[in-house]
Chain A
Amino acid sequence: MSMTVRTALQMLYLIFAYLCVTAIFPHFVVGKTLKLKNKYERFLVYTVLGNFYVMYVVFALQLLKISYPITVYLFTVVPCLLIKIKLEKIPVTEMFGGFFHTIKMFVGGQLKLRAYRDLRKPVWKERRRKLGKHIYNVYIKNLPDAILLVLLVVAVFWIYGSGHLIYFGYKASDMIVHNYWINNLSENKIFFTGVYPYGYHVAVYFLHVFFRIDTYVLLRLLAFIQPAWSIFMMLCFLRLLCKTKYMPYIGAFMYTISSLFTVNTYSRYSAPLPQEYGIMFILPAVYAGFAFFREQRIEKRFAVSKRSFVYLVVFAMSFAMTITVHFYGAMIAGLYCVGMAIAYIPWIFRKPYFGKVAITCIISVFVAVLPMGIAYATGTPLQESLAWGMSVIEGDEPKNEGEESTEESTEEVDGEELTEESEYEDPELEEGALIGRDGQLLIHSVSEDENADTDTDASIDADEEASLDSDTAVSASSSSSSSSSSSASTSTSTSTGTSTSTSTSVDSREASRLEEAYGRVATRYFNNRYGKILGRIMYRADRFRNHILLSVMSDINGNNTYVFVVVFYTPILIAIGLAVMLIKKKDEMYGGVLIATGIIMLLMNIVLASKELGIPSLMDPNRCSVYFAYIIAVATPLVADGIVYLFLDWDLKKRIINAVSLVLTVAFLVSLFRYNLIRERFNEPGMELNESIICLTDIIHSNKNFTWTIVSANDENRMVYDKGFHYELVNFIWGMEHIGAKGRVQIPTETVFVFIEKIPVDYFRSYWGSGQTISEEGCLHRLPNNKGLQCYQGEHRWIVMSRAYFWAQKFMELYPNEMSVYYETDNFICYKIKQNPYRLFNFAIDYDYNLREYAKEIEDWSEEEE
């Protein structure tokens, strides 16, 4: 079976598994008892319920140290059944009595299969009829809706899923760390490296245990599930709040396929990172908040009704999960709630609302923090990346997260202790940095400030007026290039080694100079006094556009002025919201939705520009832009929906308004295609060669567990957990460095596979010889002795791979029958060595280069000295 077919089948199974968690199981348990508005609300609530349930089941089992496949099955299934029995008041005894009676009748021959079939025929017929009717009502009757939904699913798959059928490796730096943490859950070691929001990890662990999907497969393919569900949640959210039927698709398509956003706002979706997993819980929490106000308002009673209680519960769960999965998601949900509180200020401080809302918020935070609190109280320290997050909030110059993710792990391989010290992330990279195999940064950092400023300065110094235009052009092109194809900006950042994401404040003196320059241009058209003010405003606006908005919004064919439209979302939404509240009393809650969305837009602008505004930064701007894009995609259809609703709903029937929304949606889609605003699908190579994953998968499937070891560069390290063993290639080579055959490198498994890249990948860092093949020249360099990933980066990887290859050649000469080529392509070779596990081979041999005097280096040094 080819890897593409295997991946496609795995993807299908994963979709089924996640649908089970987020739709099928919850529907089975509460489907009959929980009265929800429509299918969108069902899906939204079920997603929350399903995720919350599995997360907290695993949390409980982990904290009790009894998390094993059997307990996971038991504690997942049994409570579900009990809840169902309780909610539906199922007479279990009678049901079983009837079942056994039927069996008895079958066994006794009183009931034949045919008779039973005839007996059940009317029931099945009725079910078929209902299903047909449902399909007709949902899909045939709403054909445009169904078509748009299908198109959206196809688009989501094309953009986020199809690339995974081509490139199989992990696509983010810290996937290995997450893999490691999830692996530790199998050993009941939650919070292994400290207290950390583990919601994402326990969810993945649940999928791994319950559906028997290998963790490394999950961590490859969840990258499709995460954006898909975030978009589906957005669609459900908008469908539930918008007054028009098709406008929500504008937001969903805008976020899915348009290139209106910069690459860095969605490139993180190429890997299943916790932050992106948390995005799917933001809008359900917000929706539950809106729904609570709506229901409470409708009920007009001071006692909590069942329905509004359900929304409060959903809110609590959803908000708790935003905290549990990633704090940033909770911040955005919190900001939206702030907007909601402002929008519903006439009601929120009323007794029935405030108390319930406050208690729910407290409970949700408590529920979220509880597992972490228990761990902390029992002596587990905070995980270091939390400190990194805190430093961002506190406004300190953040250390790179990667520096803190250092871990020291010791594995025991069948009595053989393999000690490895791995910094799983490049210190020069931020968490989740996504880099193509050629070393190009896919995530464009917000902070191109310095370069842009330099450009600006240079331009203004040269010729003030002309320079202002050129400044715009330069900045725009800088941003646009970063958004459409990251290569240009990236190569700068990587080559200069300035890929840090934090923006540096422009020196105030320089700022004044620039303001003056803008002022001088303005005074040509205005008097001196207003000209200076205008100049200052122009300068600030220009900076805001070039350095803030353009980090989120991309230009359209070189025109970046339109990005200011986003700034006007806030006044428009607030104005429409207020108008709706004042004019359309019956829909005052809808007005609140618009106002809240307007406020979150404003708040997001402020958070994003916090550094510019000189206020404490809530989150890293680069991360903020991811959420901002998501919120813009939510706000855009709401703006359109609000306008259509406000101006057309007076006289026209709903059907006509829907038709208008359909026309607008179609027009939007057509414009995207017409103006070539369609983003490219995720099709970047992973950090591993495809061949590595192909070999790994085959090894796992065709060898008995724990009878094999893979010797490779890092990435397979965590992937082989609970299947086999891994040995670091660099440690392997170092084991015979300087001492040759006198050393002792032994691997205590029957089969050993050695992965060697013939053309070493640029693992998060390119170098002067990127793309070159391994060679004797590579062997002539001193073996890198850096700790962690650095020994596999840039030139070091080339040296290590060259050494490994020549070791393999020599070893094959010594053991021609015991070593064979397992798999080979132009880029990659995998060797298989079969050894006697009771008399292990000593892999330490003299392969010439390990005993050389590094002639080339000595030569270089002498040249340098000269």
Chain B
Amino acid sequence: MVSRRSFLAITIIMVIICVMFQYVQVVRSSENDYFDNPYSDLKLPERHEWQPIDYKEAERTGIIPWEDGGYVLFIGDDTSPIGSVVSQWASYSKRQMYARKSLEGFTVAKFKSPEFIILDSNYINFDKDLSRLYDLTDKGISIVFCNLPSVEVLEANDSLMDFMGINYIKEPSVTVEGMKLFGGFLLGGETIYEPEKKEDERRQDLDLEVPWIVTGGGTKTYMVGIMDDYYKKYAFKNEYFPAIIWRNSLGNAQVFCVCGDYMNTTGGIGILSAMIYELSDYSIYPVVNAQNTLLVDFPLMADENREEFTKIYSRTALSFQNDVIWPTLISLDEKYKLKYTCFMSPKYNYQDPAEPGYDFYEFYLKNFNERGSELGISLEHDDNVELADKLYYDTGYYDTIAKRYVCSSAFLNINDIDKLEEAVQNPHVKHVKTIACAEDINTPILSYINDDITLQCLTSSAKNLTYKRDLMLKSVETALAYDNAEMNFSDVYWPSGDGDHWENIYNDMSSSLATYWRPFRVFARTSLTESDQRVRVFLNLGCEYSREQNCISLKVSGRDGNTGYFMLRTHGEEIVSMSKGSFEKIEDDAFLITLDDDETEIYLKPTDTLGD
């Protein structure tokens, strides 16, 4: 028998426990306004991005607007993929660019000395231009070959081979087993792009057919093709592996060579940033410092594909989304400190009879709010419907539920980029300030669509991060400290094979987060609107810097009272202290600088001298 006294004690304890647990929930519900989008109130800087000088105008007038070393010369077509990459990189690194289609007619005396020259080999006549190139390197001007001429052209011209630091070409073409990117060039350290397991083979999308170029003395190689079998068979030394990206020193100038199409993608901007870093004793440039994780078509509000879903998961799409997908996403969020931007889709496939429901809307808003995630609008849709129709169908849904929550971000299908102007007329989309869409070489990663809306292109994918995309991730992180990673859930709801099953996608996502994103944990995790604010600041920023002994002075313009971010890369030096700002070490010789002032002084200390 329980005594009355014990019974009373037990009752009191139970009440206390009940109150303790419930109280938290009650207070949280009453204090939070889940229908308020905290990111929509972010103060966004006005548009006045840093503008390069219009070199075409300068070419017409004949007035050279820059000083010696004040511009980058690009020889090639500025509308080609390489030209687009170079143009983007010049803009992001706040450099003036002068593009010409030929080296002929270019003289330093006339056009002043460029900081360095970027070449598209297709626009170079090596028989004529090589002596010009030698003259330029003699003047200490470094050169970047964004691609190589054919092996025949190289082999026929020993002088060109010497110029590029090629000792000899062992084979015109060889199939390598993978690629090895050495540390210290792009951020993220050494990476081997060679599948170890069978399931990793689908990641391999790099071009493995390369000419076997063996570099000579005075060169430094940044990326090579791996030939392990050859190595084992003939005890071949690493130094003879085919060079992919390398540098040759010619007096005070350096000649960088890229073998392959690595400069034809957006990833080229990071390679150029890394080359600039290699050219000097330090390198400082503005960056975005934003890492976005976009969950596209999540949550889906209609119970689509019911039959197939029940067959695969023994439950409906909505219940699977609530009970399985969201908890696993929360676990990833907690483990990797992610910040999701979830692009809600009332319906994806408009041929499916299921209608969007309202039951879970508030549930997700609560969850997103509590976890700091942002809710955006997904403008993505199945191929069987046009964007305008989708918006039309969805209007009724949004009218019902989204009266108070203002979505400031949206995800757009890259094919619909032209229809964006029309889309933003929709009352539910008109508050959107930034749009995310898939990457396209002719579309800058970060840009303004109009005066109000920015465009942030995807830079990586959590679902299937292929080697090429990982290289691009590293490259963009190096150039911009920026990542816009997408996880598209439409494939989960409408799977086309086993690879689209949630467990496989989750494994992919989890392993990618644990490995490929790991080196970039220093960078801030942001929602898309937060990222938008940083992007606008970044685009506006201009900077000047100089160095006197161990002190780097940095002057910033266009910050407008916002926080600016910069990347500092050194060679064997560490930051000791800095005024008016803070810094964090990303990896050896790489630092992220946070600046809340227009001027700062950064003090460095060499690590490669005795006693340090």
Interface pairs (9), CB distance under 8 Å: A742-B216, A813-B251, A823-B609, A832-B609, A838-B180, A838-B190, A839-B182, A840-B239, A846-B217
Residue of A at shortest CB range from B612? A702
- With a cutoff of 8 Å between Cβ atoms, the chain A residues found around residue B182 in the complex are 836, 838-839
A719 at the interface (CB under 8 A from B): no
In the bound assembly, the distance between CA atoms of A834 and B184 in angstroms comes to 11
Report the minimum CB–CB distance from A756 to chain B (whole Å): 15
- A830 in the interface, Cβ–Cβ < 8 Å? yes
Contact A822 B610 (CB under 8 A): yes
Known contacts: A813-B251, A817-B278, A834-B572. The answer to whether A842 contacts B217 by CB under 8 A is yes
Interface positions, chain B 161-186, Cβ under 8 Å from A, are 180, 182-184
Known: A817-B281, A820-B572, A834-B572. A842 touches B216 (CB 8 A): yes
Within 8 Å CB of B239, what residues of A?
Answer: 746, 839-840, 842
* CA A570 to CA B421, docked complex, whole Å: 119
Q: Are A821 and B224 in contact (CB under 8 A)?
A: no
A694 close to chain B: CB less than 8 A:
yes
Given A838-B182, A839-B238, is A813 in contact with B610 using a C-beta cutoff of 8 Å?
no
Flag A558-574 by CB within 8 Å of B: 1 or 0 each: 00000000000000000
Are B608 and A820 in touch, CB under 8 angstroms? yes
Interface residue B220 (Cβ < 8 Å from any Cβ of A)? yes
The distance from the CB of B464 to the nearest CB of chain A, in whole angstroms, is: 28
Q: Given A698-B611, A815-B249, A823-B609, A844–B217 Cβ distance below 8 Å? A: yes
Compute how far the CA of A844 lies from the CA of B216 in the bound complex, rounded to whole angstroms.
Answer: 9
Is A794 an interface residue, CB under 8 A from the partner? no
Shortest C-beta distance, B274 to chain A (Å), equals 12
A706 interface residue (CB < 8 Å to B): no
B610 x A820 contact (CB < 8 A): no
Residue of A nearest to B219 (CB): A842
Could you tell me which residues of chain A, from 809 to 847, have a CB within 8 Å of some CB in chain B?
A: 813-818, 820-823, 830, 832, 834, 836, 838-846
18 further A-B pairs in the complex, CB-CB below 8 A; given A838-B180, A838-B238: A694-B610, A698-B611, A740-B217, A813-B249, A814-B218, A815-B220, A815-B249, A820-B606, A830-B610, A832-B608, A834-B608, A836-B184, A836-B221, A839-B182, A842-B239, A843-B217, A844-B217, A845-B217
B310 adjacent to chain A (CB < 8 Å): no
* Cα(A741)–Cα(B162), bound, Å: 11
Residues of A within 8 A of B366 (CB): none
Binding site for A on B (CB under 8 A): 180, 182-184, 190, 216-221, 224, 238-239, 241, 249, 251-252, 278, 280-281, 571-572, 606, 608-611
When distances are taken between beta carbons in the complex, the residues of chain B under 8 Å from A818 are: 220, 571
Q: How far is the CA of A858 from the CA of B190 in the complex (A)?
A: 51
Give Cα A839 to B224, complex, Å.
9
Complex: A746 Cα to B217 Cα, angstroms: 10
What's the least CB distance linking B139 to chain A, in Å?
A: 15
In the complex, the answer to whether B608 meets A822 with C-beta atoms within 8 Å is yes
- A845, B218: Cβ atoms under 8 Å? yes
Set B184, B216, B241, B610: member contacting A741, Cβ < 8 A: B216
Residues 437-481 (chain A) with a chain B CB within 8 angstroms: none
User: How distant is B530 from chain A, measured CB to nearest CB, in Å?
Assistant: 35
Contact partner of A841 (CB less than 8 A), chosen from B220, B608, B609, B610, is B220
Q: Please name all residues of chain B whose beta carbon is closer than 8 Å to the beta carbon of A820 when the two chains form the complex.
A: 571-572, 606, 608-609
Q: B residues within 8 A CB of A330?
A: none
Range of interface residues on A (Cβ < 8 Å): 20 to 34
Report the minimum CB–CB distance from B271 to chain A (whole Å): 17
Is A279 close to B, CB under 8 A? no
Measured between beta carbons, the chain B residues less than 8 angstroms from A814 are 218, 249
In angstroms, how far is the closest chain B Cβ from the Cβ of A560?
50
> How long is the Cα–Cα vector from A694 to B280 in the complex, in angstroms?
30
Partner among A813, A816, A817, A821 whose Cβ is within 8 Å of the Cβ of B609:
A821
Question: A842 vs B221: C-alpha distance in the bound complex, in angstroms?
Answer: 11
> A821 to B572, alpha carbons, bound, how many Å?
11
Max chain A Cβ within 10 angstroms of own Cβ: one of B184, B239, B252, B608: B608
Residues in A whose Cβ lies below 8 Å from that of B608: 820, 822, 832, 834
| Residue in A closest to B252 when the chains form the complex, CB atoms | A813
Chain B residue, CB-CB nearest to A840: B239
Q: How far is the CB of B280 from chain A (nearest CB, A)?
A: 8
Any B CB within 8 A of the CB of A695: yes
Is the beta-carbon distance between A839 and B281 smaller than 8 angstroms? no
- Hey, which chain B residues are within 8 Å of A832, CB to CB? 608-609
The CA-CA distance from A832 to B610 in the complex, in Å, is 10
Complex contact A823–B572 (CB within 8 A): no
How many whole Å from B445's CB to the nearest CB in chain A? 28
B572–chain A nearest beta-carbon distance, Å: 6
Which residues does chain A contribute within 8 Å of B190, judged by CB atoms?
A: 838
How far apart are A253's CB and chain B's nearest CB, in angstroms? 41
Contacts of B221 in A (CB 8 A): 836, 839
CB distance from B550 to the nearest CB of A (A): 14
> Which A residues, 834 to 866, have Cβ-Cβ distances below 8 Å to chain B?
834, 836, 838-846
Which residue of B224, B280, B571, B609 contacts A822 across the interface (Cβ within 8 Å)?
Answer: B609
A840 pairs with B609, CB closer than 8 A: no
Nearest-neighbor residue (CB-CB) of A810 within chain B: B218
Report the Cα distance A832→B219, complex, angstroms.
18
Cα–Cα, bound, A694→B239 (Å): 33
Once bound together, how far apart are the Cα atoms of A817 and B569, in whole Å?
12
> A817-B281, A839-B238 are contacts. A741–B218 as well, Cβ < 8 Å?
yes
CB distance from B8 to the nearest CB of A (A): 40
Smallest CB gap from B221: residue in A: A839
Chain A residues near B251 (CB-CB < 8 A): 813
CB-defined contacts of B217 to chain A, threshold 8 Å: 740-744, 842-846
Question: Which residue in chain B gives the minimum CB-CB distance to A746?
Answer: B239
* Inter-chain contacts of A740 with B (CB < 8 A): 217
Of residues 182 through 197 on chain A, the ones whose CB sits less than 8 Å from some CB of chain B are none
Compute how far the CA of A804 lies from the CA of B239 in the bound complex, rounded to whole angstroms: 24
Q: How far is the CA of A822 from the CA of B608 in the complex (A)?
A: 6
A695 and B610: CB pair below 8 A?
Answer: yes
B281 touches A816 (CB 8 A): yes
B549 CB → nearest A CB, Å: 15
How many angstroms from the CA of A832 to the CA of B608 in the assembled complex? 7
Assess the B606–A823 pair: CB atoms within 8 A: no
Residue numbers in B under 8 Å from A741 (CB-CB): 216-218
Asked if residues A823 and B610 are in contact (CB atoms below 8 Å), the reply is yes
| Closest A-B pairs by Cβ, 7 of them | A741-B217, A814-B249, A817-B571, A823-B610, A842-B217, A820-B608, A814-B218
Interface centre among A820, A840, A844 (most CB of B within 10 A): A820
A698 vs B221: C-alpha distance when bound (angstroms): 30
Q: How far is the CA of A844 from the CA of B218 in the complex (A)?
A: 8
Chain A residues within 8 Å of B572, by CB = 817, 820, 834
Complex Cα distance, B251 from A668, in Å, reads 71
Cα A797 to Cα B180 with chains together (Å): 42
Whole-angstrom CA separation of A834 from B218 in the bound complex: 14
- In the docked arrangement, what's the CA distance between A744 and B215, Å? 12
CB nearest to B224 among chain A residues:
A839
Quick one: closest A residue to B282, CB to CB?
A817
CB-nearest residue of chain A relative to B165?
A741
A830 contact set on B, CB distance < 8 A: 610
User: Smallest CB–CB gap between A834 and chain B, Å?
Assistant: 7
Q: How far, in angstroms, from A823 to B219 measured CA to CA in the complex?
A: 25
Q: Give Cα distance in the complex from A842 to B238, angstroms.
A: 12
Residue of B180, B183, B571 contacting most chain A CB atoms (<10 Å):
B571
For the complex formed, measure the closest distance between the CB of A118 and the CB atoms of chain B, giving whole angstroms.
49
B401 CB, nearest partner CB in chain A, Å: 57
> Please, which residues of chain B bring their CB within 8 A of the CB of A846?
217
- Nearest chain B CB to A694 CB, angstrom units: 7
What is the distance, in angstroms, from A172's C-beta to the closest C-beta of chain B? Answer: 27
Chain B residues contacting A695 (CB-CB under 8 Å) are 610
A-side contacts of B241, CB under 8 Å: 839
CA distance A846 to B217 in the complex (A): 9
Chain A residue contacts of B606, Cβ below 8 A: 820
**In the complex, A600 Cα to B608 Cα: how many Å?**
60
- Chain A stretch 704-749: residues in CB contact (< 8 A) with chain B: 740-744, 746
Task: Kindly list chain A residues whose C-beta atoms are within 8 Å of the C-beta of B609.
Answer: 820-823, 832
